[in-house]
Structure 1
Amino acid sequence: MTTHLSRRTLLGLAGAGAGAYLLSACGDDKSSDPNAPQTINWWHIQNTEPMLPVWAALADEYKAAHSNVTLDIQPLENEAFKAKLTTATQAGDPPDLFQSWGGGVLKQQVDAGLVKDITDDVKPWIGGLLPAAMEPYTIDGKIYGVPFDIGMVGFWYNKDLFTRAGITPTPTTWAGVLDAVRKLKTAGITPIALAGKDKWPAHFYWSYLAMRIGGVGALQKAVDDKNFDSPDLVAAGERLKELVDLQPFQKGFLGAAYGTPDGQAATMGNGGAAMELMGQWAPAVQASSSTSKKGLGDKVGFFPFPTVDGGKGTTTEVFGGGNGFAIGKDAPAATVDFLKFLLSADNQRKSAQTGAVLPTVKEAATAIPDANGKLVAETLASYTGFQLYLDQAYAPALGSQINDSVAELVAGNKSPAQIVKDITQVAKTV
């Protein structure tokens, strides 16, 4: 979720047009005069239902009130976005407004002088946002981005398939998860959908296991010490290997992407697997990726990542993140104003009502439409520790290595002891 704070959100799925959506054709300059003709190049990953039309409608609304502003919009699939952004930033030419998950990737962009310090610009209204949501976008006390979505990773499951396998209640321990997998297999049901090709979904398992075994501070200590070769992190790999050895994933999972018609989200949305470990966007993406375009509806349930027997972590220690926007170094004056417009309470409510976004504006929380979304929001509200997706929290090279190493473990190519040595080797260089 590539950090995908989904990484990983990843509402960016294949299937919708990724071409530029040009709202009007006016002149373009980078003038500081807010009334001068301006073009805002906006890249985002909400390139499918339900959020694609919401962003488009809001852009139209803003344009109608600001005739001097052109919005040149490029909705991109998540992986395509990351590749395109890398090319643009390496050339020193970032878009004006672009998807960001904050953390280490944003810090690297800050250090390279690619994004604007918007601390003073957002000061009048940023206090209306959840403080936890702002953490990944605040670098050395300054604000370089604004989140529109905040949530957590957990298990999303098909209630009907759990009932058929006799699983009740939902698991509260890792041993319970393994037992549920066995029951599902006995019932002839594929237990888990996984996008092995994309790698980042697998890193959720190892990250959460590390937190549950070592506590939320275990991963930060590993970064600070530049050493992931610790008993707790090796144990996280061993617990994950217990799952892998049960062969719980759908056929062809190693070649499956997250958002393709035969990928992880579609497998869940079409009833082809009983559960997936994914962020708050999961039900919406299951629906948009499913054959019916409706997904599981009220058949989908949620439970937090469980504890590990003997571990130091608790279920109130949360792994996750959200989606936000950063502003490129040469963005026109209207860009921050447009971002403020997107983050208004009314517009956050419109986003929340889709079920695809858990709003960061406090006033908009009442618009969350379903029980699962409210459960995620309540769990987040009572969190005692928070860890951003590792491929976003850390320097890009380190985050990528974690994704690669966990993928090798899941594929059976490397052992738990080997992957922490590989990750440590990279950690020493960043």
Structure 2
Amino acid sequence: MASTPPSRRSFLALSGLTFLSVPLAAACGGGDSGRMPAAGGKVAFAWWNIATTEPGKSLFPQLSTAFTDAHPNITIKTTSLENEAFKSKLTAVTSSGRLPDVFQTWGGGVLRQQVDAGLVEDLTDAFGWSSDLTPVSLQAYRFDGRTYAVPYDVGMVGFWYNKRLFAKAGISAPPGTWAELLEDVRKLKAAGVTPIALAGKEKWPGHFYWAYLAMRVAGLAALGQAAAAKDFTGAGFVRAGSHLKELVDLQPFQQGFLGAGYSTPGGQAATMGNGKAAMELMGQWAPSVQQDAGGDLGADLGFFPFPAVDGGLGQVGEVLGGGGGFALRKGAPKEALDFLKFFVLENQSKLLASNGYLPVVKGAESGVADANRRAVAESLARATGFQLFLDQAYPPAVGQEVNDSVADLIAGKKTPEQVTTSITEAAKGA
């Protein structure tokens, strides 16, 4: 297992990409990145993905072959790259203005930069079947009311908890409010249980707390408004930091958490998987990483959404998460979108059966076999709003400052006010 789960590691690798503004004519491609004409009315297009591990390593080629078998006039030239290699190669082709016809994306600030550079196809008018997909799965790929990618996976962050340790502390049900969560932390500590596992060294896990608290206190719309205004110093964001400091002051994390990694030996996932902490705030990948790094909690493992904050403007149904999708370069052949329809809409059951992806098709959550993954899928299906990971939603420099400043708050090096000031300064400089 890598130091971060695939969905997180993928974005963090991409966050270092530099996108240049290039002429639209150059963006229409050339070489193996543009449309590759073939004789006899045939069409060939390039597809770049990151399916170098299972289940995608086996499943993606199967779906590609099934599509070309059914459409013998179409050839798909597939390039599957590990994340770092994907980063390097996409940087090179982007700088030259030649994106592949179909390419992996996680949306947010990076995709927005590609769109603003005139490199990405606007799918809005051609993507008639988008109504078959869940609104939350599309959110990361929409800008100014237009859609620029097709999702194939989506997930969310929530609290994973150890039911046995909750029972030991006399906690009969997961907390529904922030005040209840703080009280449960006190009960767990009184029972001799470490309340929360945290990978303080890697910073990004800590940003989940501040992001969710900002959503619950200031409201989902405030995050977009702050990004547009390049000003995060509003009272709601300061209050979010103050609530996080309330938690930090209770000393809820495992010993040595500031030096702990996520999936490393003795790190956050291992601490949780080995039953040495009662909770972790993490994405849908958490159970599998717990098993790889620590142990399998089995029936003792449960899931609950981030709680409400009394007096806050946000709703519990608003979730923080991310996913995976595919974008098309400007001028890509229409057959490329036909392939994505086949891949996502017509093969949703195969994606779910692989136990590696969560549904993006409406009503498909009942097809998720694993109970914990189904709990996440059902939460997403009920979601009333969706916020992409802040270190992905915003330009890379801003997202990194969110991670860094929140980590400093957790370490006692910054005040809630200093966090908002630092993020604002990064936004104004981006």
- Scaled by the length of structure 1, the TM-score of the pair is 0.81
Q: Aligned residue for 1:367? A: 367
Q: 1:43 aligns with which of 49, 59, 68?
A: 49
Secondary structure at the residue paired with 2:253?
A: coil
1:9 maps to amino acid: S
Q: Aligned residue for 1:296? A: 297
Q: 1:151 to 1:69 in 2, by over 3 A?
A: closer
Q: Aligned residue for 2:15? A: none
**CA RMSD of the aligned region, Å?**
3.4
Higher helix share: 2
Q: 1:206 to 1:291 in 2, by over 3 A?
A: closer
CA distance in 1, matches of 2:142, 2:77: 29
Q: Aligned residue for 1:19? A: none
Q: Aligned residue for 1:350? A: 350
Q: Aligned residue for 1:429? A: 429
The answer on whether the counterparts of 1:348 and 1:361 sit within 8 Å (CA) in structure 2 is: yes
Q: Aligned residue for 2:80? A: 73
**More deviation in 127-136 or 50-59?**
50-59
Does residue 271 of structure 1 match 2:275?
A: yes
1:278 maps to amino acid: M
Secondary structure at the residue paired with 1:428?
A: helix
Q: Aligned residue for 1:341? A: 342
CA distance in 1, matches of 2:194, 2:89: 35
Q: 2:247 aligns with which of 243, 250, 265?
A: 243
Secondary structure at the residue paired with 1:362?
A: coil
CA distance in 2, matches of 1:31, 1:86: 21
Shift of 1:110: 0.6
Shift of 1:205: 0.5
Q: 1:85 to 1:70 in 2, by over 3 A?
A: closer
Q: After superposition, where does 1:66-105 map in structure 2 within 5 Å?
A: 68-76=75-83, 85-86=90-91, 89-90=94-95, 92-105=97-110
Secondary structure at the residue paired with 2:429?
A: coil
The answer on whether the counterparts of 2:134 and 2:361 sit within 8 Å (CA) in structure 1 is: yes
CA distance in 1, matches of 2:90, 2:276: 34
After superposition, what is the alpha-carbon deviation per residue over 1:236-258, rounded to whole angstroms, capped at 9, x for unaligned? 11111222233323344334443
Secondary structure at the residue paired with 1:197?
A: helix
Q: 2:189 aligns with which of 185, 191, 205?
A: 185
The answer on whether the counterparts of 1:11 and 1:48 sit within 8 Å (CA) in structure 2 is: no
**More deviation in 303-312 or 181-190?**
181-190
Q: 1:261 to 1:328 in 2, by over 3 A?
A: farther
Q: Aligned residue for 2:314? A: 313
Secondary structure at the residue paired with 2:372?
A: helix
Does residue 198 of structure 1 match 2:202?
A: yes
Secondary structure at the residue paired with 2:366?
A: helix
The answer on whether the counterparts of 2:35 and 2:101 sit within 8 Å (CA) in structure 1 is: no
Q: 1:298 to 1:60 in 2, by over 3 A?
A: farther
Q: 1:127 to 1:310 in 2, by over 3 A?
A: closer
Secondary structure at the residue paired with 2:323?
A: strand
Q: Aligned residue for 1:416? A: 416
Q: Aligned residue for 2:7? A: 9
Does residue 212 of structure 1 match 2:187?
A: no
CA distance in 2, matches of 1:163, 1:325: 43
The answer on whether the counterparts of 1:216 and 1:317 sit within 8 Å (CA) in structure 2 is: yes
After superposition, what is the alpha-carbon deviation per residue over 1:135-188, rounded to whole angstroms, capped at 9, x for unaligned? 321233433211112333211112222223322211112122222223333444
Shift of 1:334: 5.4
Q: 1:7 to 1:94 in 2, by over 3 A?
A: farther
Shift of 1:332: 6.7
CA distance in 1, matches of 2:265, 2:343: 30
1:401 maps to amino acid: E
Q: Aligned residue for 1:110? A: 115
Any gaps of 5 or more consecutive residues in structure 2?
A: 12-30
CA distance in 2, matches of 1:412, 1:83: 36
CA distance in 2, matches of 1:96, 1:262: 42
Does residue 168 of structure 1 match 2:158?
A: no
The answer on whether the counterparts of 1:100 and 1:326 sit within 8 Å (CA) in structure 2 is: yes
